[in-house]
Structure 1
Amino acid sequence: MSHSTAFPVALSGSRDRVQMWAAEADVENEALAQLRRVAQLPWVHGVRVMPDVHVGKGATIGSVIAMNQAVSPSAVGVDIGCGVAAVRTSIRADQLVGLEMLRASVEAAIPVGFNAHEELPDLRRFGLEAGVDGLFGKFESLDEKVHRLRNKAVGQLGTLGGGNHFLELCLDQEDRVWITLHSGSRNIGKTLADRHISIAKSLGHNQGLVDRELAVFLEGTPQMDAYKHDLWWAQEYAAKSRALMLALFKESVVRHFEGLDMGFDAPINVHHNYVNEETIDGQTLLVTRKGAIRAGAGDLALIPGSMGTGSYIVRGRGNPGSYFSASHGAGRKMSRTAAKKRYSAQDLAAQTMGIECRKDAGVVDEIPAAYKDIHQVIEAQKDLVDVVGHLRTILCVKG
């Protein structure tokens, strides 16, 4: 990966609409083709590409797309509101004991994979009841095709899911313990996204597009209004879900270290698959970040690596050139299928040595070697974020 002073570079064949914090030679051809197709959409003001860029379904992961009076639901992705949360604790490395027991306790408190809460935890314990009551009070106003999913959505609030989603304990350079996690809007977000992507593809103005997967909604239409309504709801659901998981994780930690006087800093909780209305180049535009975070001046965020390679806490530099954005993580360099063919559970155990985590065949597709080097990804965006600290993983829960 080239040195960051060379960035951004214009993507060839994109009429300078696409500016990249990655070298073309380091990006797979299909991702470059996806970015060029996005640049051809008449509503696109510009595209900014992060150093963790890789092929995505519909639109490229690691892309920031600013559109005028339009939004493409595929450019958000199906995990609406997916993002990360982190909180620093007062515990230090030398106080850590019984990590295997702690992992079991966290897995018991926070359902993973396809599992859900049998009943929602008592939200009054965490001061979250008003927000969640308000969230589900709006459920009937969502797309009518998802009303039957209400009970499932309630049960999946505050649950992890699978894939690259995680719950981790990490240590910073001062040996302070951090809680970090990565999750999104679960099945309800995906169902809403799939519904709206299908509706967008059927609209007349999207016929004959360079790529039907990039079908858009136009401002001022009932379809856009309906999408925005469901989108804002799913983004709120994802953020509340992370807040509940953080609370449950903290509770498990407090219980595990009974007798320690424990404190927690203010949490970080940010989306990296979402839409926001922002002022870009003096215009009010709809900005979609798919695998990218907002990195406005002073914004704190978490940029995770892969399983076992730790994460970075960063502070945004507010660079207008990137549309005030930065990468969301390390980014895959190998598909899940390719990783499973190439690596074994033994390889996973070797690459996660010293970390309390699953080391079985079920999570081999999440092996660190399937991802780009997080340190190089951070280096490539030195003009977008300042590093506050590097976190090294000591415990990781996967779905």
Structure 2
Amino acid sequence: MIQYEVLKTENSLPVKMWTKGVPVEPEAKEQLLKTAQLPFIFSHIAVMPDVHVGKGSTIGSVIPTIGAIIPAAVGVDIGCGMMAVQTSLTANELPQNLAPLRLAIEKAVPNGLSPKGSSRDKGSWQNPPSIVEQYWQQLLPGFEKLTEKYPRFLNTNNYRHLGTLGTGNHFIEICLDENQMVWIMLHSGSRGIGNAIGEFFIKTAKQEMEKYFIDTYLPSKDLAYFVEGTEHFNDYLMAVNWAQEFARLNREAMMYNTINALRSVIDVPFETHLQAVNCHHNYVQKEHHFGHNVFITRKGAVSARKGELGIIPGSMGAKSFIVRGLGNEESFCSCSHGAGRVMSRTAAKKQFTVEDQIKATAHVECRKDANVIDEIPMAYKDIDAVMAAQNELVEIMHQLRQVVCVKG
């Protein structure tokens, strides 16, 4: 039984949507159909159940292209994704008071953002630890190649942002699975340097479109693209691949320091990495689908090849899932990257109060103040409905619930 709905206009390729039982804004559908009009889209666009309007491109979309890449579809949080590790700890080995554990994690992993004009960004390292230096050495040759051609990226948060959390919907959580086993789960990307790379190449693509008068033919100026074989295409691919590797190692470094924070609070010896997953959900890579080699851009979507493990987090205070891909080709072997927002951050702050946030996260040791209201669970879709809509894309391996949540 086919689970997806198909959107199509006279001028577009099909948009296949795994959204049965979940709300989709009309604006998101309009944004998707505009993307599907581009001449280099291959076969169709696949849409995940957490779909919602995004800046430049629709979040929760899988965009296959031949001969071109749209930088705004990859976005500015290049390589953003999830990492989860199962430990040998059980729920009854956690301390009754979880506040010291949250504080230890907040101390071990820089998070948040200092106001402009501050002497130092609290979300970056002042003296990076050895694990950060170790990972930076892996990244350094690529960074030197990138900055040799684009020295503008030298003056960014790069080395000092490696192994740091950031702000917004980025988080570190201690979770329990269905067997009361303890997991560590975190969410972050390529931080300041990834943002700088994304912003620069999005702007450059728009300038290229204007230079050759192509922008007037685009359904949206945000869909500006680079053509394969051109200098900017090659430079962007080099930069985006490096940023994706930065994001992967960023999560590895954060996980290392979070595990150490856990050990500093819990006296019980424990093992980690019994099961471990580290996956992007904002990225582009070349893959083989329907007999063709194509560039697959996942904007808020996770690779779900047959047997491949992935992570689908719920909202702050809701359950999350470790999943295994079913290799559904119609979705380009993809699944959702989370629950997906039903309202903007601004709307959430207007609609909800600190009291609402306290009530919604009563079972979680976390910040409960005005600065995290935009992450309140009610600002997101029902994660159970999202999972039901994609049951032909993934199977659930573990269901996790948060007991500690760190937000920047």
Distance 2:140 2:234 in 1: 19
In structure 1, give the amino acid aligned to 2:151.
E
Match of 2:94 in 1: 96
Q: How far off its partner does 1:259 sit?
A: 3.9
Distance 1:199 1:263, change over 3 A: closer
TM-score normalized by the length of structure 1: 0.95
Cα displacement string for residues 137-188 of structure 1 (whole angstroms, at most 9, x for unaligned residues): 3222223211122xx3111111110101000000000000000000011111
Is residue 50 of structure 1 aligned with residue 58 of structure 2? no
Is residue 207 of structure 1 aligned with residue 215 of structure 2? yes
Distance 2:293 2:14 in 1: 17
Match of 1:308 in 2: 317
Distance 2:213 2:313 in 1: 38
Match of 1:19 among 5, 16, 24: 16
Distance 1:42 1:131 in 2: 40
SS at structure 2 position matched to 1:306: coil
Match of 2:183 in 1: 178
Match of 1:167 in 2: 172
Alignment of 1:331-346 (within 5 A): 331-346=340-355
TM-score normalized by the length of structure 2: 0.93
2:172 and 2:405 in contact (8 A); partners too: yes
1:170 and 1:310 in contact (8 A); partners too: no
In structure 1, give the amino acid aligned to 2:351.
R
Distance 1:101 1:313, change over 3 A: same
SS at structure 2 position matched to 1:246: helix
1:140 and 1:147 in contact (8 A); partners too: no
SS at structure 2 position matched to 1:66: strand
SS at structure 2 position matched to 1:238: helix
Alignment of 1:90-239 (within 5 A): 90-97=88-95, 98-114=97-113, 115-123=123-131, 131-142=135-146, 143-149=150-156, 152-203=157-208, 204=212, 206-208=214-216, 209-239=218-248
Alignment of 1:49-88 (within 5 A): 49-88=47-86
Match of 2:251 in 1: 242
RMSD over aligned Cα atoms: 1.5
Q: How far off its partner does 1:31 sit?
A: 0.7
SS at structure 2 position matched to 1:138: helix
Distance 2:127 2:311 in 1: 30
In structure 2, give the amino acid aligned to 1:336.
R
Task: State the number of aligned residues.
Answer: 389
In structure 2, give the amino acid aligned to 1:110.
V
Distance 1:249 1:265 in 2: 16
Cα displacement string for residues 298-340 of structure 1 (whole angstroms, at most 9, x for unaligned residues): 1101100000102100000011010000000000001001100
Match of 2:25 among 4, 15, 28: 28
- Segments of structure 2 that go 5 or more residues without pairing to the other structure are 114-122
Distance 1:24 1:354, change over 3 A: closer
Distance 1:227 1:104 in 2: 39
SS at structure 1 position matched to 2:317: coil
Q: How far off its partner does 1:129 sit?
A: 5.5
Q: How far off its partner does 1:24 sit?
A: 9.9
1:86 and 1:180 in contact (8 A); partners too: yes
SS at structure 1 position matched to 2:164: coil
Cα displacement string for residues 348-393 of structure 1 (whole angstroms, at most 9, x for unaligned residues): 0000012100010110000000000111101100000000011011
Distance 1:24 1:132, change over 3 A: same
